[in-house]
Amino acid sequence: MRGPNIASVDVEDYFHVEAFARVIERVNWSEYKPRVEANTRRLLDLFDECHVHGTFFVLGWVAERFPALVREIVDRGHEPACHSYWHRLIYTLTPEEFREDTQRAKTVIEDACGRRVTGYRAPSFSVTRKSHWALEVLVECGFDYDSSVFPVTHDVYGIPDAPRGPFVVATPSGPITEYPMTTFRAAAGPNLPVAGGGYLRMLPAWYTRWGVHRAWNESLPVISYVHPWEIDPGQPRITAPLKSRVRHYTNLDKTADRLRTLFSLGDFGPFEGNSLDRSGGAGFSLQRGL
């Protein structure tokens, strides 16, 4: 299955990331020089070069300060979507805090671009067993789909036994479509992540090609994602724990070419209007499992 597949961007700056959350407080974000405008435009140019339209999950904090960037994303043919306002892990919030953050972000993004926003992606894929309630809040806030579940084991995110293809979640307030991030399997082993973010950037190109074709052999779509700061090797270096620095700074100079290679493998587009099969989660509950 070479298509349809999804191209997506999580529009945030280098100082917003979870890897630096313990060393950079939100109240101090304004002290850092923004690089998100220039880096997002570099990605927009790359998408143009590859003849790809995608979905841009914009941080509300960014949309409020750079509304012209959000308008440009839409004017250049891409779908606007929501990536929260403050980039906080959902499972650290109460439902009321999550609702307030989400509605604020949705409002500022829609005001910036003049379009309804129907898609959401949680910071650091933080829709987990501990925060499955967030999907009902998203329905109540007017979202049609979410792309926050990662069917892997990870120290920050993951629901390892979640369906690996798109599926519909029934909530008390109505249904919402979930588009889990791409994984593949090698023999009978665990789910392995591929084609996005640090996995695209840090792992060798042969791994990405192998994983993508394995996913297609299972009739799974490839949902790619990248962040603007991942194509910016000149960004300032933050003093942080070694693990955080390795995750954030490795191979920043290789991301753009690896994204070009990924896009050359198949057909990629936005979430809106896609024809992906959504029947992958029959009988699955984020609360209980299969």
Asked whether 208 and 183 are in contact (CB, 8 A), the reply is: no
Walk along the chain (290 residues) and give the pLDDT tens digit of each residue: 566 899 999 999 999 999 898 899 999 999 999 999 999 999 999 999 999 999 999 999 999 999 999 999 999 999 999 999 999 999 999 999 999 999 999 999 999 999 999 999 999 999 999 999 999 999 999 999 999 999 998 888 889 999 999 999 999 999 999 999 999 998 878 999 999 999 999 999 999 999 999 999 999 999 999 999 999 999 999 998 999 999 899 999 999 999 999 999 999 999 998 878 777 765 566 665 43
Rounded Cα distance between 157 and 127, Å, is 7
Please name the residue that has the structure tokens 């829709």.
Answer: 127
Contact yes or no for 251/207 (Cβ under 8 A): no
Which of 85, 148, 146 lies closest to 112, judged by CA? Answer: 85
Cα-flanking dihedrals φ and ψ of residue 93, to 5°? -110, 160
The torsion angles phi and psi of 272, rounded to 5 degrees, stand at: -65, 135
Q: What is the pLDDT of residue 3?
A: 66
Where are the chain's structural domains? Answer: 5-269
Structure tokens at 250: 């490795």
pTM of the model: 0.95
CATH code at 5-269 = 3.20.20.370
8 A C-beta contact, residue 167 and residue 281: yes
Torsion sign, CA atoms 203, 206, 208, 210: negative
The two structure tokens encoding residue 222: 């490839």
Helix (H, G, I), strand (E, B) or coil at 155: coil
